[in-house]
Amino acid sequence: MPMVRSVESRVDDVRAVVRAARAVVDRRDALAPAIVESTGLSSAGVELAMTRHLELDPTDDELRRLVAHAGDASSVAVILSANVFVGALRAIAIARAASTRIVVRPSRRDPTFARALVEAVGDPAIVLDEALDVAAVEAGELHVYGHDSTIADVRARARPSVRVLGHGSGMGVAWISARADLASAARGLAEDVIVFDQRGCLSPRVALVEGPAERADVFAEALHAELERQGVLVPRGPLPADERAASDRYIATMTYACRALVGSDHAIGIAPPGAPMVSCPAYRHVHVTSCATEDDARALVAPLARALVALGSDDEAAARRLAPAWARVSALGHMQRPPLDGPVDLRDPT
Amino acid sequence: MHARARAFVDAFERGDAAPDFDALACDLARYQAEHAPGFARLCSARGIDPSALARADHIPAVPTDAFKLTRVATFDESETAVTFRTSGTTVGARGSHAMRDTSTYAAAATAFGRRWLARDLTRPIPVVVLGPSPEAVGDSSLGHMCAGFVRAFGESARPEETWLLADDILDLSAFDARVATALAKAQPMLVLATSFALVHLIDAVGDATFVLPPGSRVMQTGGFKGKSREVPAERLRAELARVFAIDERAIVAEYGMTELSSQFYERTLFDPASTHGVYAEPPWARVVPVDPDSLAPVPEGEEGIAKIVDLMNVDSAVAILTQDRVRRLPGGEGFELFGRAPGAPPRGCSIAIDELLGRG
């Protein structure tokens, strides 16, 4: 008969993972060069992620919620993605809450942090297998983090006896309400944009500004100044050639259509009033558009809804009205710092 | 400007040398910078003074996405004669291309269509369109062009005998009746069709055939847009050749888009040396493969993103930047089309918004 683990026992196991993450952060100087190399983030970007975007001080209540969310599994194989490297903490914490037998396969491109974390935990229940073949997993759960195509591939290869939970691609949207202080909102949103060079599934890509077009203009200017200021402190990593092309295309499109504000390490496109949504790249690009009402905002983001996993706002009540049921809602400046209470992406993973 | 653009078409039809391409392209760019503030901004952002332009290569290209966000036009909205719209997707925004004078567009489309689809015809033939009528989709540039071909190359027929797709349902019995009459009269036919309509036809016919009269030809255009299963070009062509009992070389692909006023054709029907996948360009349009990052033309023979300078886009954007990958062939043999650039590969778990908007 399998041993039943109490909630407290699971919480303790998760706490051990968090303690290990603290230890990894304490020796981050040794790890940072490898993470810079593999993620393409700048050194300051890696430092920012490790010191501000790892959930090292969860409350008991948050951990209990995480344990409740994790459920119970005979074993869990965790397939991690690259780039948002600190995501390994949450992924392993959830797996540990769910099971006493965990195998972690770090991203081939970006194994450093996950490898260090598993070693630091020193928990025999958690083993690293960098060559894990998902098709060889016979039972339990597979927790897959990454792009939708990766998840689809894992689902196709997994055995029928294995439950696959996929946490795929997503994006964030910011709602700047009519009562927002624009300077403060711009500061918060810039913080959310800069971390991970906007490559996280919570990263805000679109800012909806309640009010007339002129207000969106003022907000965009403030955001431009903030991104410039914060970009000096945390420079963007080098832009790959194809991303440079996407950036140039977006900037040219927005320049023609209305206005683009181009900074050293970022760009903001200001959409003409009433214009539909168009493609906006990651890597510190923000599409700013005015919305006369919340209904306008809802209609505008409707095509993006299935991928919308985070909504940040100065008015969280309004944001909740705009957000899909699964989206995390937070204050601006906190979109990339969700509590350690479950997966960052709360969409149905099955 | 329209008269100067039309002069290219007139010269082409007379077999005369074309006027100076760069001169008109640069004059159009200056005109558009003067009358379209967006283009003036784009020139300024690229550090280009329109008054100093001397070569078409140097004209900044307007990305096709701009047609989704704003009106790309040099004239007041009240002067609009027609607005063509992209077919779009279920969730993506549709691009719009407004025109105040469609005669230049129509003349160019018909002249180049005749060159690659109908130059051998001495009298009108039965023309059918496996697509909706212009009345059903008045904002379709393809429908507008097909209507021009029906008028220019077709014998007289009722609309229901000509436009054979309604609500995505193909009227096979009307098609059958046209074919039977043409066979009896030994007339070749011209079939104008979207790729998805042709897939529907193949699916409907199954293993049977739908034999067209000798000398018939098919113009195939567009993608599948989720309206049918996707079939690779080679397989679709082979299947069509079997079903229609025509040579594969009589199946001619057309490449065009709502944001343009010119079209490009495979030359297989009339040029024995040409192959499928290679497109001819008219003397009034140039397809220039450019590096997607620098936007500089790539060396001949290398693949790039298609920047298209279209002198028929008199009142919109003389140069547009597509997301289609192309390669020029040496000696003015035209260009190869490889389809849509895949976009930047996903990095991290931030989604490519293109995926959500359907890249339409």
State the pLDDT at residue A345. Answer: 86
B349/A271 touch (CB, cutoff 8 Å), yes or no: no
pLDDT at B129 over 50: yes
The total number of residues written for chain A in this structure = 350
Cα radius of gyration rounded to whole Å, chain B: 20
pLDDT tens readout for residues A38-59: 999 999 999 999 999 999 999 9
The DSSP element (H or E) to which B356 belongs, if any, is helix B353-357
Q: At what angle do helices B103-113 and B141-153 cross, to 10 degrees?
A: 60
**A347 in contact with chain B, both atoms CB, cutoff 8 A:** no
pLDDT at A2 over 60: no
* Angle subtended at Cα A121 by Cα A119 and Cα A126, rounded to the nearest 5 degrees: 80
State the pLDDT at residue B90. Answer: 44
A306/B63 touch (CB, cutoff 8 Å), yes or no: no
B38/A256 touch (CB, cutoff 8 Å), yes or no: yes
pLDDT tens readout for residues A226-259: 999 999 999 999 999 889 999 999 999 999 999 9
Is the Cβ–Cβ distance between A261 and A254 less than 8 Å?
no
pLDDT tens readout for residues B244-253: 999 999 999 9
pLDDT tens readout for residues B201-230: 888 888 888 899 999 999 998 765 556 667
**Which carries the bigger pLDDT value, residue B240 or residue B354?**
B240
Of the listed ranges A10-19, B28-37, B202-211, the one predicted with least confidence = B202-211
pLDDT at A127 over 90: yes
CA separation for the pair A16, A19 (Å, rounded): 5
How sure is the predictor about B92, in pLDDT bands with cuts at 50, 70 and 90? low
Tokens of B175: 């098609």
State the pLDDT at residue B341. Answer: 64
Is the Cβ–Cβ distance between B317 and B35 less than 8 Å?
no
**B137 in contact with chain A, both atoms CB, cutoff 8 A:** no
Closest CA relative to residue A14, chosen from A51, A52, A69, A53: A69
CA separation for the pair B179, B174 (Å, rounded): 9
State the pLDDT at residue B194. Answer: 87
B353/A167 touch (CB, cutoff 8 Å), yes or no: no
> Smallest CA–CA separation between A51 and chain B, in Å?
19
Which residues from B are below 8 Å from A242, CB to CB? 292-293, 343-345
- Among A39, A244, A255, A259, most B C-beta atoms within 10 A, so best to mutate, is A255
Closest CA relative to residue B147, chosen from A257, B273, B136, B253: B136
Is the Cβ–Cβ distance between B315 and A213 less than 8 Å?
no
pLDDT at B91 over 70: no
Q: Torsion over CA of B146, B285, B327 and B116, rounded to 10 degrees?
A: 40
Q: For a pLDDT cut of 70, what percent of chain A falls above it?
A: 99
**A154-213 residues touching B, CB cutoff 8 A:** 167-171, 196, 198-201, 203, 205
> Smallest CA–CA separation between A294 and chain B, in Å?
19
Distances (CA, A) of B256 to A4, B185, B263: 65, 33, 5
Phi, psi of B83 (to 5 degrees): -120, 115
State the pLDDT at residue A1. Answer: 47
User: Which residues face A217 on adjacent strands?
Assistant: none
Q: What is the identity of the amino acid at A129?
A: D
B353 vs A245, A302, A304: nearest CB: A304
| Domains and their CATH numbers in chain B | 2-101+283-340 (3.40.50.12780), 104-266 (3.40.50.980)
Q: Which residue has the tokens 């190869």?
A: B336
The dihedral built from the CA positions of residue B10, B12, B16 and B21, taken in this order, carries a sign that is positive
The residues, ordered by sequence, that sit 6+ positions from A334 with a Cβ below 8 Å of its Cβ are: A188, A192, A312
**Measured distance between the N- and C-terminal CA atoms of chain A, rounded to whole angstroms:** 27
State the pLDDT at residue B166. Answer: 82
pLDDT at B184 over 80: yes
State the pLDDT at residue B242. Answer: 94
CA separation for the pair A295, B313 (Å, rounded): 37
CA separation for the pair B297, B275 (Å, rounded): 24
Whole-number mean pLDDT of chain A? Answer: 94
Q: What is the identity of the amino acid at A212?
A: P
pLDDT at B20 over 80: yes
Residue B135 buriedness (CB in 10 A; 0-12 / 13-18 / 19+): exposed
Which residues from A are below 8 Å from B63, CB to CB? 249, 252-253, 256
Which residues from A are below 8 Å from B65, CB to CB? 249-250, 253, 278-279
Tokens of B239: 């299947």
**Which carries the bigger pLDDT value, residue B208 or residue B80?**
B80
Q: Which residue has the tokens 């309604």?
A: B166
What b-and-e string marks burial along A203-214, b requiring 16 or more CB atoms within 10 Å of the CB?
Answer: bbbbbbbbbebe
**Alpha helix ranges (H) inside chain A:** 7-26, 28-39, 43-52, 60-70, 87-98, 112-121, 148-157, 182-194, 213-233, 241-257, 294-301, 316-322
Tokens of A22: 């603290």
CA separation for the pair A19, B296 (Å, rounded): 52
**A306 in contact with chain B, both atoms CB, cutoff 8 A:** yes
Say what the pTM is.
0.91
State the pLDDT at residue A109. Answer: 83
Is the Cβ–Cβ distance between B105 and B113 less than 8 Å?
no
**B177 in contact with chain A, both atoms CB, cutoff 8 A:** no
Q: At what angle do helices B195-205 and B233-244 cross, to 10 degrees?
A: 50
CA separation for the pair A198, A261 (Å, rounded): 17
The residues, ordered by sequence, that sit 6+ positions from B218 with a Cβ below 8 Å of its Cβ are: B190, B191, B192, B193, B198, B240, B244, B246, B250, B251, B252
| Domains and their CATH numbers in chain A | 7-167 (3.40.605.10), 171-331 (3.40.309.10)
**B69-88 residues touching A, CB cutoff 8 A:** 69-70, 72
**B37 in contact with chain A, both atoms CB, cutoff 8 A:** no
Of the listed ranges A63-67, A202-206, A242-246, B189-193, the one predicted with least confidence = A242-246
CA separation for the pair A146, A134 (Å, rounded): 14
Interface confidence, given as ipTM, is 0.89
pLDDT at B356 over 60: no
A252 vs B63, B92, B93: nearest CB: B63
A256/B39 touch (CB, cutoff 8 Å), yes or no: yes
Closest CA relative to residue A144, chosen from A159, A130, A154, A129: A154
Q: For a pLDDT cut of 90, what percent of chain A falls above it?
A: 85
State the pLDDT at residue B350. Answer: 55
Helix (H, G, I), strand (E, B) or coil at A48: helix
State the pLDDT at residue A185. Answer: 98
Closest CA relative to residue B5, chosen from B310, B287, B279, B320: B310
State the pLDDT at residue B349. Answer: 57
User: How many CA atoms does the CB half-sphere of B76 hold within 13 Å?
Assistant: 2
pLDDT at B358 over 60: no
Per DSSP bridges, beta strands B335-340 and B278-280 are antiparallel
Closest CA relative to residue B162, chosen from B198, B131, B213, B128: B128
pLDDT at A319 over 50: yes
Question: How far does Cα B150 stand from its chain's mean position?
Answer: 16
> Smallest CA–CA separation between A41 and chain B, in Å?
12
